[in-house]
Chains A and B, each alone.
Chain A
Amino acid sequence: MRDVAVVSFAQAPNLRSDRERNEVEIVMPVVREALDSVGLEQSDIGFTVSGSCDYLTGVPFSFVMALDAVGAWPPIEESHVEMDGAWALYEAWVRLQHGDIDAALIYSFGKTSLTDLDKVMSCQLDPYTLMPLWPGAISLAGLQASAMLAAGTVSEADMAAVASHSREAAQGTPEIPEAEGPADVDDLLSRPRVAHPLREHDIAPATDGAAAIVLVAGDRAAEVCDKPAWISGIDHRVDTHAPGNRDLTTCPSARMAGERADVGRSHIEVAEVYAPFSHQELLLASELGLGDGVDVNPSGGALAGHTFMVAGLARIGEAARRIHDGTATRVLGHATAGPCLQQNLVCVMEAAR
C-alpha cells in the first residue's frame, strides 16, 4: 500500500440556516482554505471528488453545479459520491493507490435548511416495505434507543451525559457558532421527550455547511505539511438494509470496519465519531473498543451540529487536526450512513509514517 496522509482540513461553520449563501458560495472558501494552507493549487490536484445529496435540493445532478467552487476548466479528473464526504475520501485514497497522482482534493456540502431532513431521509429506505410508511430518521433512531434502553446497554443518564459533553465541547468554537447552551445531566433529563424515548438533546440539530480535505501520498506529504496525519487503516462495511432484520443494540459493520482498520493495534488518543443521536456515540464507542482513556468527540461531534453529507468528512478532519497541531499521535475518524448506523467507515491516522 502507498502511504497517504491527510495534510489539510477546512470546515465552514455549521449553521442552522446559511441564508446568505448558496452551495457554491459555502464550498468555495473552504476549498480555498484547504489548498492554501498547504500551498497547493487546483492544478496540483490529480483527482477531485465530492460527496453530497441531490435530495436536499431536489434537483438531479445538483452536485455538478458545486464544481464551480473548484474550477472545472481546464478539465479536471473528477468524481462524486451520493454519500457523506468520508466515502469520497475513501475513493480518493483508493485513487491515490494507483500511483500515478500524488494529491487529491475531497469536499462535501449539505444545505439541509432547504428541506426537511427527517422526511428526505425516509427516501433512502427500502421502497416497498419501509418508505411507503415514511418513518423519519429520528423515529428510526428512537427505535434503536428504545431497544438499547430495554436491553440495558445504555441509560437515559448515559445519553444525557453524551449530550452534556457535546454542548460543553462545542461552546465558543467557530465550527458550531449556534451551539446549544451548556446543561448538566439532571437538567437535560428534566426536559420533555420529543420522540419518546428521545429528548431534544438526544437529536442533532440539522445544519448547513461544507468541509474539504487534501490527501497527499508519499514523500510529497511531508513537503507540504509539517505533521501529516498518515492513514494507517481505513475500511467501510455495511449491515443489512432492513432495520428490523438487525439487532439494533449492536453494530457489526462498525465493529468489522474498526477491526479491519486495525483500531486495536495500539492506543487511540482522540476519536471523532459521527453520531447524530446521543445513544449512537455510546454504541460506536463500544463497537470500536474506545475505552476510558479515549477522548471521544472533543469537537462536540455531529450532535452539536449535523451537516448531512459533511459530518463524517468533518470527523476525519477534526481527528487529523489533532495530529497536525501535535496534540495527538494516533487518532480515529468515523462516518456513518443509512438508518440506525447501518453503514460505517473507520479511518485511523497516525503521526508516524
Chain B
Amino acid sequence: MSRKAETDATKGILTAPYVLEYSYTRSTGPVLGRFFSGLRDKKIEGIRVADGRVLVPPVETDPVTGDELDEFVQVGEIGTVTACSWLAEPRAEHPLDKPFAWALVQLDGADTGLLHAVDCGSAENLEVGSRVEVSWRDERHGFITDIECFRLLGD
C-alpha cells in the first residue's frame, strides 16, 4: 500500500494509510531455533543442565549456574500433567476455539513442564498426574503452535 498522502479531490480531505507493525524480524538463536525447527519435524528437544535435568522448552543458559548449554536431548510426545487450570471461555487468539485446560506437561524424558492447551472436554477429566499426548498440526511452521494441543492418552 502506498504511504503517500492522497487528496480526496471531491471532499478536500487529506488521507494517509497508517500501518501499525513491527518492521523487523528476530532470530530465535541457536537453542530455541533448533527447538522450533524440531517441532516442524514433529521432534521435541530439550536441553540438559549442570545438575542433569532436561529442560523443555530448552534455554540458552543454565538457570542456576548461568553456564551456556549445548547438550540437546530428544524427549517423548507423551507426558504427565503437573499442573492444570480450566479455561471456560477461550479468546480468539487461544489455541482452541472451545473450552479447554491449560496444563504444564512434563514430557517423558523431561524434568520440567511445557505449557500448552489440553483438549479434554471438561475440567473434571484432567488432573495432576493425567497422561497426555501431543496432537500435531498438519501444517507446521516452526512455532510453538505447531503443537495444536495435547489430548488425553488413548482418546
Q: Which residues of A contact B (CB under 8 A)?
A: 119, 128-130, 132-135, 139-147, 150, 193-198, 240, 242-245, 248
B3-11, B90-98, B132-140: which lies at the A interface? B90-98
What are the 4 tightest A-B residue pairs by CB atom distance, in nearest-first order? A142-B85, A244-B113, A196-B86, A150-B128
The answer on a CB contact under 8 Å between A142 and B114 is: no
Given contacts A128-B28, A147-B104, 16 further A-B contacts (CB under 8 A): A129-B57, A133-B116, A133-B144, A134-B91, A139-B85, A139-B87, A144-B83, A147-B83, A195-B87, A196-B85, A196-B86, A197-B85, A242-B59, A243-B104, A244-B115, A245-B59
Instruction: Say whether chain B's binding surface is mostly helix, strand, loop, or mixed.
Output: mixed
The answer, among B128, B143, B145, for a CB contact under 8 Å with A146, is B128
> Cα distance A179–B134 when bound, in Å?
43
B50 within 8 A of partner (CB): no
B78 within 8 A of partner (CB): no
Q: Which residues of B contact A (CB under 8 A)?
A: 28, 32, 36, 55-57, 59, 63, 82-88, 91, 93-95, 101-104, 112-117, 123, 127-129, 143-145
The answer on a CB contact under 8 Å between B85 and A242 is: no
Closest to B113 in A: A244
Closest to A145 in B: B85
> Cα distance A139–B7 when bound, in Å?
49
Knowing A197-B85, A245-B55, say if A132 contacts B115 (CB, 8 Å): no
> Cα distance A234–B8 when bound, in Å?
61
**What is the total of A-B residue contacts with beta carbons within 8 Å?**
95
The answer on a CB contact under 8 Å between A194 and B88 is: yes
The answer on a CB contact under 8 Å between A128 and B91 is: no
> Cα distance A4–B87 when bound, in Å?
46
Closest to A194 in B: B88
The answer, among B32, B86, B117, for a CB contact under 8 Å with A129, is B32
Closest to A125 in B: B115
Q: Hey, which chain B residues are within 8 Å of A119, CB to CB?
A: 91
Closest to A246 in B: B112
CB of A240 to closest CB in B, whole Å: 4
Knowing A142-B86, A142-B102, A196-B85, say if A240 contacts B28 (CB, 8 Å): no
The answer on a CB contact under 8 Å between A128 and B144 is: yes
The answer on a CB contact under 8 Å between A243 and B85 is: no
> Cα distance A133–B115 when bound, in Å?
9
The answer on a CB contact under 8 Å between A143 and B144 is: no
CB of A239 to closest CB in B, whole Å: 8
Knowing A143-B103, A143-B104, say if A248 contacts B83 (CB, 8 Å): yes
Q: Hey, which chain B residues are within 8 Å of A195, CB to CB?
A: 85-88
Closest to B93 in A: A134
Closest to B123 in A: A196
> Cα distance A195–B115 when bound, in Å?
16
The answer on a CB contact under 8 Å between A128 and B32 is: yes
Closest to A135 in B: B102
Closest to A240 in B: B63
> Cα distance A145–B86 when bound, in Å?
12
CB of B54 to closest CB in A, whole Å: 11
The answer on a CB contact under 8 Å between A244 and B85 is: no
CB of B6 to closest CB in A, whole Å: 27
Q: Hey, which chain B residues are within 8 Å of A142, CB to CB?
A: 84-86, 102
